[in-house]
Structure 1
Amino acid sequence: MPPDTSARNWVLPLCWAAVLLDGFDLVVLGTVLPVLLRDHVWGLTPGTASAISTVGLLGMMLGALAIGTVTDVIGRRKALILAVTAFSAFTALCALSPSAWVFGLLRFLAGLGLGGCLPTAITLVTEYARGGKSSSATTTIMTGYHVGAVLTALLGIAVIPGLGWRAMFVIGAAPALLLVPLMLKYLPESLSFQERAKAPASREVVSGLFSGGRLRATIAFWVASFMGLLLVYGLNTWLPEIMRQAGYPLGAALSLLLTLNVGAVVGLLVAGFVADRAGVRRSTIGWFVAAAVFLSLLSVRLPSFGLYVAVFLAGFFVFSAQVLVYAYIGRTYPAANRATGLGWAAGVGRIGAISGPLLGGALLTAGIAYPWGFYAFAVVGALGAVAITAGRAKATEPAHAGS
């Protein structure tokens, strides 16, 4: 059945906007925590702040596992609208938090919706991608994640001094007032879901990850997702401090973080293009290997220009290696449990997201983050390549809405 062209044209921008809000959440806590700690709000300590960050990531892990699975049962459209509505509502309520305990609880509840947003959006975009371009669709939608992160950092600079930290959560939730009605009116359900004779039970979609010869591939995707998100969160959290420990001034260290994320956006656009032409498995392995190489290179004292080039290329490969894992998953599992496969890989990956900052923090505490932090991150990248190589999953073009 041919798709309605006008409906399909709405899929990518609406899903991209949802993922942009996910990017907001990546940065917003780091934006407001310095203010909360400086002003002794709720008597917050660094330890309490770390706990709040961790419970938010835990919520995202559980949300990815739960909503990713529910998506294959109730449909992509309903699940995505539910996820966006939930995390926006709980994000807005964060502005009213009377205590650190309530703030942490609301961050956890918002994380449940956020965790389900990404795998559901990727599944829907993948299934509406034009023939042969599902990898490009996946990497394109993930640019929204980094755009959201950059915009939130800039928003914090502009908003917090005049309106305070609570305004950040109100502003972060406000786009849902426009996005959710647009989704209700224009976001279509995927044809592959509509064409099923009946919706499977949640137990069936989960067991399907391990049957039909997919056990090895499923484990490989979980390991690669863990390694990929460990790198993403570890570098975003600690790169400035590691470079400062290496003797670079703080201003230069922050500029390097910006360079890392600019490299990420460019890498995402290129990675999808390459994967659609060279094959997603080969490209994913190559991206992890290149990430390991350039992370190793950062352990060497380089002239200023060379350092910025190396950081740009590290961001270029590190961030899109993780997204190529998602693209690979989307072209490996059948439509009946594609969102479940993405959700579970993203959920396991969130454990890596928690581990990355912990690894960097431990190396900094030990005083060996430079250069050993980059060696450790390089090993993580190499393990991601090994996992994909060992998985030997067979990628096929997923069912989509047509070309």
Structure 2
Amino acid sequence: MSEPVVDLRSDTVTSATPGMRAAMAAAEVGDAMYGEDPTVAALEERLAELFGFGGALFLPSGVMANQIALRLLVPPGAELLCDAEAHILAHEGGAAAWHGGIQTRCLPTEHGLLDARALAPLVRKANAYTVGTLALEVEQTHSRGGGSVHSLSALRGIRELADTAGISVHMDGARIWNAHVASGVSLADYGAVADTMSVCLSKGLGAPVGSVLLLGADRLDEARRMRHRMGGGMRQAGFLAAAGLYALRHHVARLAEDHLNAALMADGLRATGCAVRTPETNIVLVQAGDAQAAAERAALHGVKVSASAPDELRLVTHLDVDTAGCERAIDVLARALAAADPPSSSRICPTIPANDRESETPDDH
């Protein structure tokens, strides 16, 4: 019998656990569009409480959550500042411009990590001849940055800058759970930085679908109208919300296991001569002479990874891959990388420090 596939392409590939499926089957439901689904209401209330927001809105995807938030904060023809590798720029289909008429301006960063000193000179005041900056966007953890974590002090500096300038902050918190577990920073402290925040239930937490937009109670009615315009209204959505509630109870603390497995793979691959960036959370970036060829070779042996750039592989640990699976992946990937490297390249490469990455990492919310 062949060994099971080790799928490290993303933490979105997980299957609902038996306990989660049982919770979904037992969920009390109603018509969520009428505000009559008690399980959806319970999920929204719980997340608003955890992060310290006045309102929350359950949505089908993180892209929808991000885009509603941006439209609430930035009207058509105004400007949003973010880093050059932000998910909202790279992986959301140009939605800020397409749906919202929002102008975006970005700056290059190391691993997607912003700070107030770099942002401050870019904030522009509007006048009759100048497009004004109305919001800043940060991503925590940063997907294309390799799961990098903004420090709380950096985020508080960005909040202070926004307050001084009279503008807003949106946080794309698709993997905020990983940042919380890795840093020990409370969810409420993260929430205090932002005017709006999106949090994902289907990445590290392992729910089958869904994100929640956190926002002020005064913006909730308009957010609901935008959800309806975008086709994001759901009816008996409590079955899905129940998965999110189960994940909040059972799958947050266990993210530390994913972080340990990411470190295990980084160390194991480095020991074979691979150049690996030390992971901060659950994303491992590995240099490759021909990343696509290496990924294809690995897949033939039951290990799926992403070629995130022509010369880089991305591995993402999650609840469906245990330590044994990670150890198997190390062996398969070491051989795949050796076979895929061009003859002129050296197999032995220096370790990539955590602050020296320049490649791209695709992802989706």
Shorter-chain TM-score range: under 0.3
Q: TM-score, normalised by structure 1?
A: 0.24
- Higher relative contact order (Cα pairs below 8 Å, separated by 6+ residues): 1
More helix by share: 1
